[in-house]
A = this chain, B = another copy of it.
Amino acid sequence: MLKKERQALILREVNLHNKVLHTDLSQQLNVSEDTIRRDLVELSEEGKVMKVRGGALSKSFHVYSYKKSEIYKYEEKTSIARKAVTLLSDGMLVLISGGTTNLEFARILPPELQVTFYTGSLPTAMQLAEHPGSETIFIGGRISKNAKISTGGEVINTLHGIRPDICLMGTNSIDSRVGLTDSDWEVVDVKKTMIQISEKVAVLSISDKLQSSKKIKICDINDVDYLITELSPNDPLLAPYHEASLKVL
C-alpha cells in the first residue's frame, strides 16, 4: 500500500468518525502503530487532522468553512449527512444546494461513490472537489454575497438543461402546512427551479428548523419526497410530515 493512499484512508476515517485511534488504524491497515503515528503527525502538519495523544481528531475542517463561525450543531449535521448518503447510488446525477448540512454531507461522502454533482454553491463545490470518485459541475452565475451561491437567469437556464435523479436541498425553514420557505428572493428563485427539474427532492434539515417558516415561499410540502433530520423517523416532531406522506429518514 502506498503511503499517500494510506494517509488518504486515514483521513477519510477521521472525517467519518471524527476521531481515530492508533491501535484501530494499525490493525485495520496492517502497519505498525509507529507508522500510523507518523502518518498522523504528517497529516496534522498539513493541517488536515488534529493530533492528540493516542490518535487524532477531525478538525471538522472543511476546505472552506463558513467564515469562522463553527458549524452550528455539528454532530447533528453529520448524522443527517450519513442518512442522506443512503439515497445515492453510482451513476446518479445529483443536484445539491448550499448550506452547512450539505457541506458536511460533501465531507463525509464515501470515496468509492461515483456520481455526478451539479451545484451552484461555492463552499459545497470546494468540498465536493476533494472527492476522488465523483465529478463536480458548477453552475455559473452571479455570486450572491451572503449565500455564496450562483443566482440569476443564467442559473435557471442551465438548470432547465439537466434532469437530476435527486436534489439534496439544504433549507432554512420547513413547515408541514406552509412548505419550504426562505428569506432571500434570489435564493428562492434558484431553489424553486432546482425542485421543479429534479426527479426526487430530499430536504436536509436539523430539527430546530422544523415547523418554522420565512417570508418567501419555495414550494409546497408535497413537492418534497424525502425529509432527513437528525431525529429518529418515528419522533413525534416528525408526525406531520408522515401525514403529508413524505418519506422520513
Q: B-contacting residues of A (Cβ < 8 Å)? A: 2-5, 8, 18-19, 21, 46-48, 50, 52-55, 57-58, 60-61, 63-67, 70, 122-123, 125-126, 128-133, 135-143, 145, 148, 150, 158
Q: Are B142 and A136 in contact (CB under 8 A)?
A: yes
Q: Which residues of B contact A64 (CB under 8 A)?
A: 123, 126
* Residue of B48, B53, B132, B158 touching A3 (CB-CB under 8 A): B53
Bound-state Cα–Cα, A75 to B140, Å: 32
Q: Which residues of B contact A122 (CB under 8 A)?
A: 122, 125-126, 129, 138
Q: Considering only CB atoms, which chain B residue lies closest to A53 in the complex?
A: B3
Q: Are A63 and B130 in contact (CB under 8 A)?
A: yes
Query: Which of A53, A70, A132, A140 is the most central at the interface, judged by chain B CB atoms within 10 Å of its CB?
Result: A140
Bound-state Cα–Cα, A3 to B52, Å: 8
Q: Are A61 and B4 in contact (CB under 8 A)?
A: yes
Q: Which residues of B contact A148 (CB under 8 A)?
A: 126, 129
Q: Are A138 and B126 in contact (CB under 8 A)?
A: no
A-B contact pairs, 13 of them (CB 8 A): A2-B52, A2-B57, A3-B52, A5-B61, A47-B65, A48-B63, A122-B125, A122-B138, A123-B126, A129-B143, A137-B142, A138-B138, A138-B143
Stoichiometry, copies per complex = 2
Q: Are A132 and B2 in contact (CB under 8 A)?
A: no
Nearest CB on B from A37, distance (A): 14
Bound-state Cα–Cα, A18 to B4, Å: 12
Query: Which of A48, A131, A137 is the most central at the interface, judged by chain B CB atoms within 10 Å of its CB?
Result: A137
Q: Are A137 and B136 in contact (CB under 8 A)?
A: no
Bound-state Cα–Cα, A139 to B122, Å: 12
Q: Are A138 and B140 in contact (CB under 8 A)?
A: yes
Bound-state Cα–Cα, A148 to B131, Å: 12
Q: Are B130 and A143 in contact (CB under 8 A)?
A: no
Nearest CB on B from A184, distance (A): 14
Nearest CB on B from A106, distance (A): 12
Contacts A122-B122, A122-B125; A52 near B4 (Cβ below 8 A): yes
Q: Considering only CB atoms, which chain B residue lies closest to A60 in the complex?
A: B132
Q: Considering only CB atoms, which chain B residue lies closest to A119 in the complex?
A: B143
Q: Which residues of B contact A140 (CB under 8 A)?
A: 137-141, 150, 158
